[in-house]
Structure 1
């Protein structure tokens, strides 16, 4: 067995959290840091071209290739569940949308007893990591490692959709990241001059010249090693060869909402019954591991339109494809530079909600499902997701073999309130599409279809058209209560030398896209680790 030595910090996963941690922890020259990534390097062209997410998700070169269990809420369907398996993790294959969520999200975390996690506490960390293209003020920062820019294209039909939103009471705004994102605007993205800007580029690569940081790719963790109540190291393989690494400090799991609970359970941490059923001996009972899975379910409503240019027409001809490719090659603009969604809308399906409870991702294109060709008619897709789902799922191993995929059961639409919000979301979309600014395009509902009218029918239709928007969180819940997986300093309860720092620690999902909050969690977590080390904890 290959011995990789002893390190102060061993980080499992070089994704949106792991790359941040590797950079911040290695800033201290008196500690050594090992970063392990199961995937390969990010020297793959489609990682860097924004539209390349189409060729990264579902591709074993860059994606773990997970699938959910058949979900009753989706009328028995199973979904692709992409997770980045590459340096940069999901930030190398995601939709590049920079979204913090709402101030209320973090203030609620604080109300759960998590001191230090309110909006005023976390805002400095968002600013610290940000390199905003225009603003440097109380809310935005410049000079950080996360480049945030405007998108480099426009669509008349999306402008019309935004106008229609204003006509139904959803105002035009310029910035989704002030703490209250109610309104309609174009998403700002983690790009630099039309090229994806991942955490690998922003955080990891500038730090790799430091002598106290080592990065190993194709390093797949198998099991945590525990000695006398403390994590002493990790068993893994490197390019298929068995290896062992030791720590005299901490192991930090940053493998994400799927990978972190999976590794904990493979190591015997978790619900004893779940572990027994999977053939794993219990080393440390912590029943909450793998529970509390939350995700944003997007309902992909599609409308045929007239008298408008959409990507459907442009990409369905060789001339159009050539024009798109040439524009990107010459200027890094146009459809190849675009994030999967361009226009965003945060709205309320019912006026009783204090803040926006749904988010739209509006696209000048349509297709039956991810990976399928674009339709041969002009159309727009108005995907809408419930920002604060009440449904809770789980992720659990089913065998002691780390190469067997865990069971991922989101339990979408399993509560009455989620089904009601789903029905109301489709009705709100119809209201927007019927507004005067879109009349010139004569929108015709293609999905789910005008025949669905009652709340019951609309909720069932939501199960047919709903799909993940790739925001799984919560499976290693942070909490002040003894039943939580990690405490407010992200330490795994009952075991020394082990933390989880990634999206899995969110007690409740944020009201928006989850990459920026994950980076923030890692920034704050790195400070906590350094503080605890200085204090001798």
Structure 2
């Protein structure tokens, strides 16, 4: 069975949903969006607090893990990635943070023309409707709804005051002039529901006759003829089909699955592919390399009261029953929480070009991605290293499309990463031990002494893990860069009719949560594709 479209997009995550919506605005082109997961109408997706089940238990997720990490006591880390319409934007904590302007200027300084901050800012603005901040940095007419938390916990005020005690001032707009500081989270929610990329971009446009969305379809391979990608082989319910693309195939499967698909298609390091029985199509050794992620360490504290926090207790169970009814009835109440209700950015080195540490304050005892449960109530903080110097990889286990890839973030390989994260953990503990928390602070789940470096380092090695932001595995850069995979128009070097558009193209990781930036990347990519289509064929 064979089908044909102008544009075929692989992956209905944050980038794929944007591309499908923007490209199908032109009624004269046909667009096909392919997603390995199912639809997004589950309460686990639409209810903001559903993230507590989606992430730890693999609901709507690929549920990967890393290879053993030598610098984390040989533990295997956790790598949940969205497998549903909306991708990871349907299972994430909905925090709206764009990154630091220096991040994008640094991309441009690496030779990626058109990717500096002021070139990307119009796409952040275009994507966004911000319901509480109205200034030149924010949008008011975009599909992505950005709001303040509907019912923030009063416990956040202890954190914000603790930050102030430690010299981290309040910042009304961390996506504006200056990123450093502390704030209640802005979230991609609206009317008590998650506003994923699917909800923002895809759902309103599903009735377009030129847009076809396929779910529960696994793309197995790109078909390349004369250095041109012409089609894909897909598997649906164990039946293979060929889907042809007359103009372009756009791979938007994310930082793990995009390089996996390229390598399965023979695009990657030729020697590594041959060893797996894959005939090389194009020698591109950067595919799957340059993996970067935010490593986070999480101190946890019990609270003296159950008020304002989530937890396992009789009062907590009664609260959950009441709040579940309230959310289903009118989309209000505590289950509109994203758990990571406030955050702060700060630097260790005063000369750093952008904040080096992000703290996310969580109103619950979230231990090991909520896979390790504790009786009672409390709070925790994710202290995350923003710009690691370590680099890892995504490689193939074998030539079977159903096999999970080998994911190696190579955490703490560079010694500076441990030094900076240790300093960030110390500062985080100073905030949590400040007098602002005296009214609520109980015992630590894992007692730590902020003056004992040896103990803190062991805590990092025995507990630190992902903050869910893998990037960089199809790096944007010039042909002279042996690790680059795509050029500044996101076209794959050496092949026609193929682009990669997602977090994998980031040359270096950004300072903060990655979802907003991926949406802006896709908005820009859609314009690049439209501009090329509008130009005469001989140009």
Q: TM-score, normalised by structure 1?
A: 0.95
Match of 1:250 among 231, 244, 248: 248
Matched position secondary structure for 1:137? coil
Instruction: After TM superposition, list the pairs within 5 Å mapping 1:131-210 onto structure 2.
Output: 131-210=129-208
> Any idea what SS the aligned residue of 2:271 has?
helix
Partners of 1:307 and 1:513 in 2: CA distance: 30
> SS state of the match for residue 67, structure 2?
coil
Match of 1:37 among 15, 35, 38: 35
Report what 1:327 is aligned to: 326
* Aligned equivalent of 1:364: 363
Alpha-carbon distance between aligned partners in 1 of 2:53 and 2:155, rounded to the nearest angstrom: 26
* 1:316 CA displacement: 5.7
Q: Helix, strand or coil for the counterpart of 1:303?
A: strand
Aligned residue in 2 for 1:434:
433
List per-residue Cα deviations over 1:256-277 (Å, max 9, x = no partner). 0011000000000101222123
Deviations 1:57-80 (A, max 9, x none): 255551112111111122111122
Instruction: Give distance in 2, aligned partners of 1:33 and 1:186.
Output: 39
Instruction: Give the Å deviation of 1:323.
Output: 2.6
Is 2:412 the counterpart of 1:409? no
- Cα pair distance change 1:329/1:221, threshold 3 Å: closer
Q: Residues 127 and 317 from structure 1, CA distance in 2 versus in 1: closer, same or farther, beyond 3 angstroms? A: closer
Instruction: Provide, for residues 385-426 of structure 1, a one-character-per-residue CA deviation record: whole Å limited to 9, x for no partner.
Output: 011111111001121100010000111111111100121112
The alpha-carbon distance between structure 1 residues 340 and 305, as it changes in their structure 2 partners (threshold 3 A), is: closer
User: Does the Cα contact within 8 Å between 1:135 and 1:142 map onto a contact in 2?
Assistant: no
**CA distance 1:397–1:320, change in 2 (3 Å):** same
Cα 1:431/1:304, change in 2 over 3 Å = same
Deviation above 6 Å: which 4+ runs of structure 1? Answer: none
- Check 1:220–1:514 CA distance in 2 against 1; reply closer, same or farther (3 A cut): same
Query: Aligned residue for 1:485?
Result: 485
Deviation at 1:3, TM superposition (A): 1.0
Cα separation, partners in 2 of 1:351 and 1:446, compared to 1, 3 Å = farther
| Aligned twin of 2:111 | 113
Task: Flag the 1:308–1:182 CA change in 2: closer, same or farther, 3 A.
Answer: farther
What is residue 527 of structure 1 aligned with on the other side?
527
Match of 2:388 in 1: 389
Between the two proteins, the alignment pairs up a number of residues equal to: 534
Q: Structure 1 residues 225, 58: closer, same or farther in 2, change over 3 A?
A: farther
Alignment of structure 1 residues 93-132 onto 2, 5 Å: 93-132=91-130
Distance 1:373 1:459 in 2: 21
Give distance in 2, aligned partners of 1:346 and 1:279: 47
Compared CA separation, residues 3 and 506, structure 1 to 2 (3 A):
same
Deviation at 1:307, TM superposition (A): 5.2
Question: Structure 1's 103 and 87: CA in aligned 2 closer, same or farther, altered over 3 A?
Answer: same
Which residue of structure 2 lines up, in the alignment, with residue 340 of structure 1? 339
3-state SS in 1 of match to 2:289 = coil
Q: Is the 8 A contact 2:313 2:376 kept in 1?
A: no
CA contact (8 A) 1:433 1:443 kept: no
Pairing 1:13-52 to 2, within 5 Å after superposition: 13-52=11-50
Using the TM superposition, give the Cα deviation of residue 252 of structure 1 relative to its aligned residue in structure 2, in angstroms. 0.3
Cα displacement string for residues 134-171 of structure 1 (whole angstroms, at most 9, x for unaligned residues): 33431111121100011122323320111111111100
CA distance in 2, matches of 1:264, 1:26: 25
Query: Unaligned stretches of 5+ in structure 1?
Result: none
Distance, in Å, in 1 between the alignment partners of 2:169 and 2:458 is 30
Q: Note the alpha carbon deviations across 1:173-212, whole angstroms, 9 max, x for none.
A: 1122115311010111111111111111111122222221
What's the secondary structure of 1:70's corresponding residue? strand
Kindly report the root-mean-square deviation, in angstroms, between the aligned alpha carbons of the 2 structures: 1.8
Q: Distance in 2 between matches of 1:277 and 1:54?
A: 40
Superposition pairs of residues 458-537 of structure 1, within 5 angstroms: 458-482=456-480, 483=482, 484-535=484-535, 536=537
The verdict on how the C-alpha distance between 1:450 and 1:244 changes in structure 2, with shifts beyond 3 A counting, is same
1:73 maps to 71
Query: After the TM superposition, which of the residue ranges 88-97 and 514-523 deviates more from structure 2?
Result: 88-97
Give deviations 1:414-440, integer Å, cap 9, x for gaps: 111110012111211121123222233
| TM-score of the superposed pair, with normalisation by structure 2 | 0.95
CA gap of 1:357–1:179, structure 2 versus 1, over 3 A, is: farther
TM-fit CA distance, 1:453: 4.3
